[in-house]
Amino acid sequence: MKDLKHLYYFEQLLEEADNELIREAQEAGRKCVGAICYQTPEVLMDLDDVFTVRLRAPRSGSLEMSTYYMTSFLCEYSRAILERAIEGGYNFLDAMIVPDGCTMVNRCVENMELLNTLNKEGVFYKYLEVPMKADENGLNLYVSECRTKILGALKEHFGADVSDEALKRAVERYNKVCRLITEIGNYRKEDNPRITGYEFHIICMATYVAPKDLLIDKLEETLEELKTREPDENPKYRARVVVAGSEIDDVDLIKLVEDSGALVVADRFCFGSLPGRVEIPLNDNEDILTQICRHFLYMNQCPRHMNLEKVHGRKEYIADIAKEYKADGVIFEQMKFCDPWAYEHVTGAFDLREKYGYPVLTIDRPYAVGTSGQLRTRVQAFVESVEIKKLQGGEK
């Protein structure tokens, strides 16, 4: 296929945590809030004069300092973020607003705070209590926490406009980006998709790490470009897969999977579009903050949500997208030492195989896979097994 015009631009944005769009927005007087998880609703931190970025540590090398502070038993994402923070890589941040989410990420941010890694004057940290069940009691808590620790804090520290009107504008902007990403992503449903999983991953990830409004023109152009893009007549892939699991902000992982003969047609992971780029529906009958929180609470697919509806719902969600995106199999990935996904990838794999009939590969991986030969071999073997099943006309 012909290269996408802006793909290189999006790739460049992902080369540094402190990318050019962040600098541009800050030069315009906007404040930047660091986030680390889906559970602090992005839209509440993407206000008129405030924007949020989800932290990554691109091109991570040695993790020695963070390993001293947190040992080698914590996941490499949390260690890479702390390492980068100690190195001064997030000094552009004006605040950190994070959930008391998984233990490791929580400890990572606490270390960042205690070690005074962010050097801007007036920088502050907020930790949200986020509900671990989706129900009305949890929603009340979520609304209260978001009201005080996000909106209240942004108003207090930055004088941000957090009125309902401002929130509505924020939702409109957020939904616009989500619509664009969804429409781009929908091309992955085609029998011979005109976009690869890698390309989509890069584009989608860019929307997490830069002020979204500054990306809209490039996203629109990319969507227009895709409308007439001709896919290769003979596609290279031999199996369509859903990748589901823990945090992936590594530009190489999806590439490695696709270089091994698969096509990633759906992305159910942190930094992915499902459900990270699903539009927020609004009505006029309910307080807007409650509606936003309800969306993020009920759409949440984090394995730390503990009620049985969620436990089963997460697997059903993956089965649904596998069907919708015509996947032949599912790859569950777990970042090494991630406790929630250590369990979830096992029960998920079991259910996807036994209940929904999909072939499943489970992998654990480091933060940055590079060109791991071991992983490549595993994916190649999985693709072959899926391919053989298809040739033999057996079950999925």
Partner 1 sequence: MGKAVGSEKLGNLYSGGKVRKRREWRGLKDTLYDYWRWLKIMKMLAGFLMHPHNLKGMFRYRWMLNYIAVPAMIDKHTVGLRGNHLKIAHEEYDLVAKDVAQLLNTAFKADKYCGNDQELSKRIVVLDENEMFTIMCGFPNLKSISWETAAVYVAVLLHGDAVTHYLDVLQEMGVPGDVCPMPAAEAGVVIDGDMPVFGACAIQCNTTCDGSLMGNGIMARAYEREGIPVFQIAAPLRHLEEGVQEYAAQEIRNAIRFIEENTGHKWDWDNYFTCMKRFNEETQHRVSWMEMSRTDFPQVIGANLALYSETTYMAIAGRVQDFLEADRRISKLAKESFERKEILVPEYRHRAIIWGVQSQYYTDFLPWLQNCWGILPLVDMLSLVYFDKVSEDDKEQAIYDIAKLYQEMIMRNRTHGGYEVLLDDLWRFCEYYNADMVILWEHISCKALDGMHGLFEERAREHGIKLIWVNHDLMDPRVIGRQAIRDDVNRYMRSVMQEEPIDPSLEILDDENAW
Q: C-beta of 249: minimal distance to partner 1 in Å?
A: 20
Instruction: Identify any residues that bridge with 99 across adjacent strands, giving them in sequence order.
Output: 128
Q: C-beta of 339: minimal distance to partner 1 in Å?
A: 4
Six-digit token string for 118: 């962010």
Closest to partner 1 by CB, 146 or 177: 146
- In this chain, which stretch among 21-29, 242-250, 251-259, 342-350 interacts with partner 1, using CB under 8 A? 342-350
Closest to partner 1 by CB, 299 or 342: 342
- DSSP one-letter string for 274-319: TTTTPPPP--SSS-HHHHHHHHHHHH---TT--SHHHHHHHHHHHH
What strand order describes the sheet that includes 239-245?
Answer: 262-269, 239-245, 329-335, 360-365
Q: Give the total of residues touching partner 1 (CB under 8 A).
A: 51
Whole-number Cα distances in Å, 73 to 89, 169, 212, 336? 23, 42, 34, 9
Q: Confirm or reject binding of residue 367 to partner 1 (CB under 8 A).
A: no
Q: C-beta of 114: minimal distance to partner 1 in Å?
A: 6
Biggest CA pair distance of the chain = 65
End-to-end C-alpha distance for the chain, whole angstroms: 29
Per-residue b or e along 168-194, where b marks 16 or more CB atoms closer than 10 Å to that residue's CB: eebbebbbbbbebbbebbebbeeeebb
What residue type is 125 in one-letter code? Y
- Residue 68-107 contact track with partner 1, rule CB under 8 A, x = bound: xxxx-xx---x---------------------x-xxx-xx
| Contact with partner 1 (CB under 8 A) among 362, 368, 369, 375 | 362
| Contact with partner 1 (CB under 8 A) among 346, 370, 371, 388 | 346
| Contact with partner 1 (CB under 8 A) among 116, 140, 163, 377 | 140
- Residue 100-139 contact track with partner 1, rule CB under 8 A, x = bound: x-xxx-xxx-xx--xx-----------x-x-xxx---xx-
Closest to partner 1 by CB, 9 or 69: 69
Q: C-beta of 102: minimal distance to partner 1 in Å?
A: 6
- DSSP one-letter string for 222-261: HHHHHHTPPPPSS-S-SEEEEEEES----HHHHHHHHHTT
Q: C-beta of 314: minimal distance to partner 1 in Å?
A: 10
Summary count for the chain: helices (H), strands (E): 15, 8
Question: CA 188 to CA 277: how far, in whole Å?
Answer: 15
Question: CA 275 to CA 265: how far, in whole Å?
Answer: 14
Q: C-beta of 147: minimal distance to partner 1 in Å?
A: 10
Q: C-beta of 144: minimal distance to partner 1 in Å?
A: 6
Closest to partner 1 by CB, 133 or 396: 133
Closest to partner 1 by CB, 7 or 342: 342
Closest to partner 1 by CB, 127 or 198: 127
Say if CB 125 and CB 113 are below 8 A apart. Answer: yes
- The footprint of partner 1 on residues 8-47 (CB under 8 A) is none
Q: Confirm or reject binding of residue 378 to partner 1 (CB under 8 A).
A: no
| Contact with partner 1 (CB under 8 A) among 95, 210, 344, 379 | 344
Say if CB 352 and CB 245 are below 8 A apart. Answer: no
Per-residue b or e along 239-253, where b marks 16 or more CB atoms closer than 10 Å to that residue's CB: bbbbbbbbbbbbbbb
- The footprint of partner 1 on residues 146-165 (CB under 8 A) is 148
What residue type is 217 in one-letter code? D
- In this chain, which stretch among 220-228, 241-249, 272-280, 329-337 interacts with partner 1, using CB under 8 A? 329-337
Q: Residue 53: which of 65, 40, 70, 63 has the closest Cα?
A: 40
- In this chain, which stretch among 35-43, 213-221, 288-296, 305-313 interacts with partner 1, using CB under 8 A? 305-313
Q: C-beta of 275: minimal distance to partner 1 in Å?
A: 20
Per-residue b or e along 293-310, where b marks 16 or more CB atoms closer than 10 Å to that residue's CB: bbbbbbebbbbbbeeeeb
Binding site for partner 1 (CB under 8 A): 68-71, 73-74, 78, 100, 102-104, 106-108, 110-111, 114-115, 127, 129, 131-133, 137-138, 140-141, 144-145, 148, 303-304, 306-308, 311, 334, 336-337, 339-340, 342-347, 349-350, 362, 364
